[in-house]
Amino acid sequence: MPSQFVPRTRKVRILATLGPASSTAGKIRRLAEAGADAFRINMSHGTHKDHLALIETIRGLEKELERPTTILADLQGPKLRVGKFAGGSAMLKNGQKFVFDRSKEAGDETRVSLPHREIFDAIQPGARLLIDDGKIVQRVVSATADRIETLVEVGGRISDKKGLNVPDVVLPLAALTDKDREDLAFALDNQVDWIALSFVQRPEDVAEAKRLIAGRASLLAKIEKPAAVERLEGILELADAVMVARGDLGVELPPEQVPPLQKQIVEAARRMGRPVVVATQMLESMISSPSPTRAEVSDVATAVYDGADAIMLSAESASGDFPCEAVEMMNRIATSVESDPTHGARVHFTETLPDPTTADAIAQSANNMVETVSAAAIVCFTTSGSTARRVSRERPSVPLLVLTPSLKTARRLGLLWGAHAVRTRDIANFEEMIAKAKRMAIRHGAARGGQRIIITAGVPFGTPGSTNVIHIVRLVGDELERHKV
């Protein structure tokens, strides 16, 4: 039977966060129909019972639509917060002194408890402390093992348990808290496809998470700390994908530095063949408005022009008043950008040189052949997904149809630029490869009679990492009739 779900022609993927506004089966289905390719479950909110209900709903929808669907579980990471105040809050004035200490007494306008020994161990004079997403800025004057004296540079009202950012030092904190480890075990037991790791500061954070995951899911490292930017290449070496988490980057860095950093992270990820997601506040006004601002539309378009693999909605789809409209708008913007005649040239502005391997040579050749023989599509047979990632890295101008016997692989490819993944039985020989490629290309609308397709695969068949075959074949008219579905 053919898929009931029309294959995407859009290349960039849309990752939609689920939440109170999008937790029912009907609403999640509407998000998928509106253009969502993957769903994010924020482990910071809700219970495991709530998360399991979402996972089961998505898997039910996957069977109904006969389309592999991607689930990403986003771990909370360590949250730094100040203590409590005697009156619930205090007003800080510009230029005043303010102390953070380890006392358990309620705070006032001169001091408050800071229940994070790691900050006392790492902080240095001159470092900034940012309170409540950077609304309050304090500069460290002196620090001891149990007392940090600061000067308030930007004052305001500080209240109980407000979040704290420490952008100028690498804190001796593990990226995984006890809660994260429990959430990770739950997510893996319920077969989510991607794990998003928060508070990444160093490659070692990624290595520890990958050790715990042990291949049961792919790992996405969130780049939201200045320390992570400084060690980006090492993080990219270990992570399966990265996210440009602009919200926290914009708190810890001057806002004018975030746009060039976004481009640098996207470019670095593309060069190294890692999927990259651009996230946070993309259509923020649609939380409460049915239409975005022109600046937000331009922001989404920029990420698409840069060649990001996926763009993400957060509160817009999780708790906003117009979740489906936000996905529809993001889909329309991306589709419009990709129809721009200059889009291809802009996407290829980033040079992605192949590694000296047979698989990379074949992926690059497939992309070059598209223009030479006017091929309608690339059909990629893969077991692990590595061949598809290599071909996608080249950003081909035609559809990329990925055929795999592994449902796990098909699901993980939901964050990969341009990939339309289909689970199908494995092939045993060259003739079967050709026949199946033709049949599936027609069935899924990637090509029609009279057009050429380019096929990549590995011999012996079914062996991960063995891509060594590239073949061009023409679909003839009678095949179109035989395989019409």
Q: Which residue stretches of 35-96 are H helix?
A: 48-65
DSSP string, 95-135: T-EEEEES--SPB-SSEEE---HHHHHH--TT-EEEETTTT
User: Rounded CA gap, 315 and 323, in Å?
Assistant: 9
Q: How far is CA 175 from the centre of its chain?
A: 17
Report which DSSP code applies to 367. H
DSSP H/E element including 140: strand 136-143
DSSP H/E element including 141: strand 136-143
DSSP H/E element including 16: strand 13-18
**Which amino acid, residue 168?**
D
Q: Which residues, other chains included, contact 450 with Cβ-Cβ below 8 Å and sequence gap of 6+? A: 474, 475, 476, 477
User: Rounded CA gap, 380 and 403, in Å?
Assistant: 6
DSSP string, 306-353: TT-SEEEESHHHHTSS-HHHHHHHHHHHHHHHHTSTTHHHHHTTS--P
Tokens of 116: 């994070």
The residues assigned a catalytic role are: 40, 81, 222, 280
What is the per-residue burial (b if ≥16 Cβ within 10 Å, else e) of 164-175? bbbbbbebebbb
